[in-house]
Amino acid sequence: MADELRVALDDAEARESCLVPSTTAVRNRLDHLTRRGELARVQSSAYARAAHWDGLDAARRAMCRIRALATLHPDWVFCGASAALVHGLSVSYRSASRIEVATRKEAPCRSTRNVGRHVIGRDERTVVAGVRVSTLERTVYDCLRRLDFRGGLALADSALRVTGKPREWLTSLFAAPHKGARGIKHARVVASYADGRAESGGESIARGAMIELGFMLPELQVEVPDPLEPWHGYRVDFAWAALDGATVFGEFDGREKYRNPRMTQGRDAVDVFADERLRESRISAQGARILRFSFADLLDDQRFSRLLVAYGVPRVGEPGRIELRPGHRDWQPSDDGSR
């Protein structure tokens, strides 16, 4: 591979984008490297190193595609789940996989298999990190009307977490002027449960499952003192008072804590795992039960219910999905849910 292409690919990776060829000659060279298996053509006129692309999850791939498309089409305004990613909100892999772009009411464009088009007003557009997107408010308004309850709760929680705003700000987006808008009642229900203390999409989806399965809402991000070093403490994802009076701490095991450099802070997975074991032993010294569960557990409602019941988490209502439409589930088994 020529040095100039190597430098260009390095630059694209540093920007979390794809390489967009500037000339036909460059495109031909990139196509040649693609045929050799060194590169991946991720969409028309956008390329990445095959090994690098294979190592990205769906959300990071979507962000690379969005930035490449923003280079190819500087007039495009991204909206929906695409804009949510740019705003730093929690978006499921399924939602992230389709690019969504704004169109004007007076000159609408039809959606295609790969690009969804939605009418967005000129006053509802902004620029984030060099990418033109719908405003945060419009993005949240659109997404919560379309996503299922659990996926919508993940996005709603992240909107409060990112902005630091109270739930009232979120519920105001779906107030009276929007009466009758498609999905508005569903969005209001989702917004009413939003809590910015949730630290990941997986925690939010877990809480959404608890709500739909009829279990008591947990306290979030509860501080637990270290019995050996009381000035030092630990924070657990969920906490309940069990039916027998015991305390139950719930911990969502997302894969990000073992592989995301921001979370591992230079430690390898073995060190992170060892620290987790030490942390759990200190927390359990308080006499609490510790319920650990993975995203795989959240994919099976019956299994997750049995786990909660086994640890004594109170059930306060009958199970029932808060459905956007029957049978629709936005989050999928490919999700890790830990974003």
Q: Are strands 131-134 and 247-253 parallel, antiparallel or unpaired?
A: unpaired
Contact 123, 109 (CB under 8 A): no
| CA 187/CA 140 separation, integer angstroms | 10
Nearest to 215 by CA among 310, 332, 147: 310
Beta bridge partners of 236: 222
Q: Please state the length of the chain.
A: 339
pLDDT of residue 232: 77
Q: Which of 33-47, 76-90, 265-279, 294-308 shows the lowest mean pLDDT across its residues?
A: 265-279
Q: What is the DSSP letter of 178?
A: G
Residue 261 clears pLDDT 70, i.e. is over it = no
Give tens-digit pLDDT for 40-60: 999 889 999 999 999 998 899
| Res. 79 pLDDT band, cuts 50 70 90 | very high
Supply the DSSP string of 238-288, one letter for each residue: EEEE-TTS-EEEEEEE-THHHH-HHHHTT--HHHHHHHHHHHHHHHHTTT-
Does residue 40 sit in helix, strand or coil? strand
Nearest to 41 by CA among 94, 24, 32: 32
Q: What is the 3-state secondary structure (H, E, C) of 96-140?
A: HCCEEEEEECCECCCCCCCEEEEECCHHHEEEECCEEEECHHHHH
pLDDT of residue 279: 72
Contact 211, 193 (CB under 8 A): yes
Nearest to 160 by CA among 220, 100, 118: 220
| Res. 96 pLDDT band, cuts 50 70 90 | confident
Give tens-digit pLDDT for 209-243: 999 999 999 999 999 887 777 777 788 999 999 98
Domain boundaries in the chain? 3-55, 71-196, 214-310
Tell me how crowded residue 263 is: count the other CB atoms within 10 A of its CB.
Answer: 14
Q: Could you tell me the pTM of the whole model?
A: 0.85
CA 212-142-44 angle, to 5 degrees, is: 110
Alpha helices in the chain (DSSP H): 3-14, 24-35, 50-54, 58-72, 80-86, 93-96, 136-146, 149-163, 167-172, 184-193, 201-212, 256-259, 261-264, 269-284, 295-298, 301-310
| Res. 260 pLDDT band, cuts 50 70 90 | low
